[in-house]
A and B are shown apart, each in its own frame.
Chain A
């Protein structure tokens, strides 16, 4: 069964460093998403990506965040200069179409120290 895969499963980084979280969406999906879940809080939408551009982003997704689909399979989230409050579980998701079921990866736990 096709699945969304994320790497790494856990990343520890120092404050101020850049991190890149990687995702491989399901191959025939067209919409890609990033969500985050700060420990003990709700899952929050960050950004959606369609047709090689951002289609929607939340107020959390400020200038230190960027997304990219560098090739036909990967979808990355970059945090340019990490802050302590960026520590969270980051989930990638993909879907075939707008308003259809989203399939989630297992998440990357980012710890900023």
Chain B
């Protein structure tokens, strides 16, 4: 079945550091790929998405490129801020309904 694997956290960085959160997936067919973010006390919010190979999703300085050859969708940001502290979930939509999520990566940005 479909699955998503993302790096374990917590990931602790200093402000303005470069961020990479790795995500790889297993799916049949051609799934759409997503990054969701969960800020403390809030629900899941879509951060960015990509619907086909080589697409790059971007939002709020975050980027991720759909790499079919490596089945990856790594999340990157060039300069993180304290306000980026949250839990980040990689997910795919490959079945008729519903999303398959990774376990989430807790990101902590220190001033």
Contact of A106 with B43 in the complex, beta carbons under 8 Å:
yes
Cβ distance A93 to chain B, nearest Cβ, rounded Å: 8
Q: Which chain A positions have C-beta within 8 A of B99?
A: 35, 43, 45, 102
Contact of B43 with A105 in the complex, beta carbons under 8 Å:
yes
A44 at interface (Cβ–Cβ under 8 A)? yes
Residue of A nearest to B51 (CB): A99
Q: Given A42-B102, A44-B101, is A98 in contact with B96 using a C-beta cutoff of 8 Å?
A: yes
Q: Which chain A positions have C-beta within 8 A of B34?
A: 101
Q: Which chain B positions have C-beta within 8 A of A91?
A: 43-44
Residue from B41, B44, B49, B96 in contact with A104 in the complex, judged by beta carbons closer than 8 Å: B44
Q: Given A42-B104, A43-B101, is A55 in contact with B96 using a C-beta cutoff of 8 Å?
A: yes
Interchain CA distance A46-B41 in the complex, whole Å: 22
Interchain CA distance A101-B46 in the complex, whole Å: 8
Interchain CA distance A55-B104 in the complex, whole Å: 26
Q: Which chain B positions have C-beta within 8 A of A103?
A: 46
B contacts with A, residue count (CB < 8 A): 23
Q: Which chain A positions have C-beta within 8 A of B36?
A: 104
B103 at interface (Cβ–Cβ under 8 A)? yes
Per-residue 0/1 for B80-111: is the Cβ within 8 Å of any A Cβ (1 yes, 0 no)? 00000000010101011111111110000000
Residues of B within 8 A of A (CB): 32, 34, 36, 41-46, 49, 89, 91, 93, 95-104
- Contacts A/B (CB < 8 Å), 24 sampled: A4-B43, A31-B97, A33-B98, A35-B101, A42-B103, A42-B104, A43-B89, A43-B101, A44-B101, A45-B99, A45-B100, A45-B101, A48-B98, A50-B97, A55-B96, A56-B95, A56-B97, A91-B43, A98-B96, A99-B93, A101-B46, A104-B43, A105-B43, A107-B43
